[in-house]
Structure formats: C-alpha cells, structure tokens
Amino acid sequence: YYERAGYYLNMKEYDKAKADLNKCFEVATESDAIRNNPYFYEIRAYVNLYTYNIEGAKTDIQIAYKLSNDDELDKRLQDIWDRLN
C-alpha cells in the first residue's frame, strides 16, 4: 500500500494516496515501524492538506513531532504548523 500511495502522490491522486496510507496504518501492528515512523505522519499530513483535511493534518503533524528526533523534520513540521495557525 505504501508504494502505491507514492505512485498516487506523484500522479496527484491525493484521495487514493490517502486511502492507501490509511490502509498501511490499519494493517500495521502496534510494533510495526510504520506506526512509529514520523516521516509517515509527515507524508500523511501533506496528503491531508491536499484533500483539505486541516484537522487531520494537524493531528499528523503533532504525532510526527512527538516521534521525531530529526531537527530538519522538526523544522518542516513547525513550518507547516505555523502556516495552519
């Protein structure tokens, strides 16, 4: 699902990308890397923005920030957050 979501993103098929990203999360177990991957939440935040789901984007940004230990990612997330508020 994750790879296909990437293809959909490249084709600007954001609703389909979002469905596949959500499916990744649904099938993942609590210990799966995807549930603890801040970059997954960053990507889904962008998809939420493209589909006008601002609250979903904010939620994903918050989760990504909590999971992150990457200063560059933190800066990107802060930039998106500042634009939304």
Average pLDDT of span 47-61: 96
pTM to 2 decimals?
Answer: 0.88
What is the arithmetic mean of pLDDT over 47-60? 96
How many angstroms separate the CA atoms of 80 and 45, rounded? 9
Alpha carbons 14 and 5: distance in angstroms, whole number: 9
Please provide the average confidence, as pLDDT, over all residues in the chain. 93
- Over residues 15-42, mean pLDDT: 88
Distance CA 15, CA 8 (A): 9
The answer on pLDDT for 26 being more than 90 is: no
> What is the share, in percent, of the chain residues with pLDDT greater than 70?
98
Spell out the residues 6+ positions from residue 83 whose beta carbon is closer than 8 angstroms to its own.
Answer: none
Confidence (pLDDT) at 82: 95
